[in-house]
Amino acid sequence: MFALFGRGEVSPGSVALFGWGDLLEFRRDTFVTLPDADVLAAAVARVAKVFGGMTARVDETGCGQCFDAGEVALLRTPDVPVPADLARRVAQKHPSHWDDQPAIIRRVLPELVVILAEGAGERESDLMARGLAAAGWPQWPRQQAQAVAGFLDAWWTRTLRTQSPPTLASEVFESCVTAGSSVTPWLARWEMEKGPIARQHLAESVHWWREELDSGDSPFSWWWGAEAEGRAAWQEVRLWLAGQGR
């Protein structure tokens, strides 16, 4: 299991994990002069540039019950747009549906980030985020990991600064947590946002999570990893919320 914001411990043959400090530096250097909406658009465009032309493995067969031969053939073909419905289903399916799930996720990422940014549909984005987590993106080459982290941060930041975002702030938060297997960076971003819109989203999210806050059950339904880790992550959120005077 990887952790998005670890200390950089590396298993043999892997690359260093992408860290929160890397994201802050990347975002400052890349997006510092852009308005919020343009930051998200630039992050989406960066994903398209970095992952454009990538394909599934030439011998990828996929799950024949969930994807037909034409769909799998399209995923093996470079530089052909993937229909939004196919990208959505690819990301939502359990990784065991694929011979090489990380390659599949890289193939559909340009379309996937557009779906997420524009609004995935009620309670769907965190399931798609599970596919991203399962692909182990922080262990991808640095440019690829930067593009994913930059998109997630831009999506979350834009949500916190938008009165009526396409997706509820609570769901975007859960999705970013699921994608990164950590709550820490997303809470840190929320902490930095002092405006009334971010506070409004905080109050609305507390209301949305009221049952989980009372019971202690985690709302991270699609956490990729040990169940105990998901519970510990939710406990971190509860402690943070207590400090916000909820």
| E strand residue ranges, the chain | none
User: Measured between alpha carbons, how far is 239 from 10 in angstroms, rounded to an integer?
Assistant: 30
Q: What is the residue-level pLDDT of the chain in tens, covering all 246 positions? A: 333 433 233 233 333 345 555 555 555 455 545 566 689 999 999 999 999 999 999 999 988 788 999 999 999 999 999 999 999 999 999 999 999 999 999 999 999 999 999 996 666 898 899 999 999 999 999 999 999 999 999 999 999 999 999 999 999 999 999 999 999 999 999 999 989 999 999 999 999 999 999 998 999 999 998 999 999 999 999 999 998 865
| DSSP H or E stretch at residue 153 | helix 142-160
**What is the reported pLDDT for 199?**
95
φ, ψ dihedrals at 13, nearest 5°: 85, -5
**What is the reported pLDDT for 114?**
95
Distances 8 to 16, 223, 238 between C-alpha atoms, Å: 5, 21, 27
**What is the reported pLDDT for 19?**
58
In angstroms, how far is the first alpha carbon of the chain from the final one? 32
**209 SS3 class:** coil
**What is the reported pLDDT for 98?**
92
**What is the reported pLDDT for 4?**
40
Tracing tokens 């802050």 back to the chain, one arrives at 24
Closest CA to 3 of 163, 183, 210: 183
∠ CA 198-204-206, rounded to 5°: 105
